[in-house]
Chains A and B, each alone.
Chain A
């Protein structure tokens, strides 16, 4: 779900930069203590490395996106974490593009915040298996919303990019399922092994 350079219309990627700059500035200056940055960064590195793990799928393999996990573990800081991961992916591995860093951060980062809200609200309900259920839901929803935003970008760019949307959606259906199961198992495991970790260090 990393849009590369040279595809989107300038209106779309420029708005991506505007939204990303505003949200990142808000979270990093208002909601983060500069002394806490190393901790947030190390978790970002863990998310980056975990997304390099490849999951077999038919004749090929897919990698995890884990923007939902970013939301669950980092809360609001998930947005700058997603941004930093995308910058590093573009610079180190040439996944995505330079002009699209902003819009890609919106596509993956806003769903990460939604996953945070969903998980935080859901795990307050006192039902059995709530971590597995809401961990999975948060993971799946984050990808599904990402696909939605991705499609909207293609649609607003126009120039027949909208013809690509059905392919994008179909290609991501297995990813939604995979990410739901992986995050469900993950949240339940962490809740059992180290419950305080799921509260993590979400900034205020």
Chain B
């Protein structure tokens, strides 16, 4: 179980890091939505190149990005392999026993995979170059409904606390001889563990809530971050939005 460390490199200096978070969010989100709408493989490749270029400009180590691609690969690779063998259109280019690959199938499978990876790689220049709480503040300034943003902020904050709690509970289990093999016992024990986590969480929630009320919480949060939009911020956004439009129009 690992702690989220998406904003581990938020302290670096780069043109992407210096970019106003509001402009950055809007522009890169625009680019992500543009990438998923692409229907032409060549344009999708251009999108992927733009995504990789943005990561390079942001100076986020590429190793860090690759380490985070496991989830997407686990979903996309089997899916594109199945499509590769089932989508039959155009010339036959390879045959393995009863499976055939056609040029149309290869193109379609690649299109899906390239779009998926381009979109996910774009998350890093957008999210990894700012502290996560600042990203949330920027979302709030962009008029994303405040209740939703608050909920994301609180949840994010407590993920760290509760990971620690679960690790403590797992350590206690292990010290009592729990091995976690593949059997019903493991499942029942896991159920009870999560049940205990849940009971403790409810008690914690009540304590936290009372502590917040006693400090004057009325549903509003104060943060110290202030944003300032400069001409260069808008220029960077304009360039990326132009690319986003071009990817689908050209």
Asked if A127 is at the interface of the complex by the 8 Å CB criterion, the answer is no
Task: Tell me the total A-B contact number using a CB cutoff of 8 A.
Answer: 243
Which residues of chain A are near B218, meaning CB under 8 Å?
35
Which residues of chain A are near B50, meaning CB under 8 Å?
none
List CB contacts (< 8 Å) of B190-208 with chain A: 190-199, 201-202, 204-206, 208
Please determine whether B205 and A43 come into contact, CB atoms closer than 8 angstroms: yes
Q: Identify which of A82-90, A106-114, A116-124 touches chain B.
A: A82-90
Please determine whether A42 and B190 come into contact, CB atoms closer than 8 angstroms: no
Q: Size range of the interface on B?
A: 35 or more
Q: Identify which of B54-62, B158-166, B223-231 touches chain A.
A: B158-166
Please determine whether A92 and B83 come into contact, CB atoms closer than 8 angstroms: no
| Among candidates B35, B71, B153, residue contacting A93 with C-beta atoms closer than 8 Å | B71
Please determine whether A56 and B182 come into contact, CB atoms closer than 8 angstroms: yes
Please determine whether B82 and A167 come into contact, CB atoms closer than 8 angstroms: yes
Please determine whether B79 and A46 come into contact, CB atoms closer than 8 angstroms: no
Complex-state Cα separation, A96 to B68, whole angstroms: 12
List CB contacts (< 8 Å) of B1-45 with chain A: 1, 4, 6, 29, 32-33, 35-37
Per DSSP, are chain B's interface residues mostly helix, strand or loop, or mixed?
A: helix
| Among candidates B71, B120, B155, B186, residue contacting A41 with C-beta atoms closer than 8 Å | B155
Please determine whether A164 and B199 come into contact, CB atoms closer than 8 angstroms: no
Asked if A52 is at the interface of the complex by the 8 Å CB criterion, the answer is yes
| Among candidates B116, B163, B193, B201, residue contacting A5 with C-beta atoms closer than 8 Å | B116
Residues of A in contact, count (CB < 8 Å)? 74
| Given contact pairs A46-B198, A84-B152, A29 touches B159 in the complex (Cβ within 8 A) | no
Listed in ascending order, the chain B residues whose CB lies under 8 Å from chain A are 1, 4, 6, 29, 32-33, 35-37, 68-69, 71-72, 75-76, 78-79, 82-83, 86-87, 108, 112-120, 123, 127, 132, 145, 147-148, 150-159, 161-163, 165-166, 180-182, 184, 186-199, 201-202, 204-206, 208-209, 212-213, 217-219
Sample of 21 A–B contacts (CB below 8 Å): A4-B71, A5-B36, A5-B115, A5-B116, A6-B113, A28-B145, A29-B147, A35-B219, A38-B208, A40-B151, A42-B154, A44-B155, A84-B148, A87-B152, A160-B86, A167-B78, A181-B191, A186-B192, A190-B199, A194-B202, A197-B199
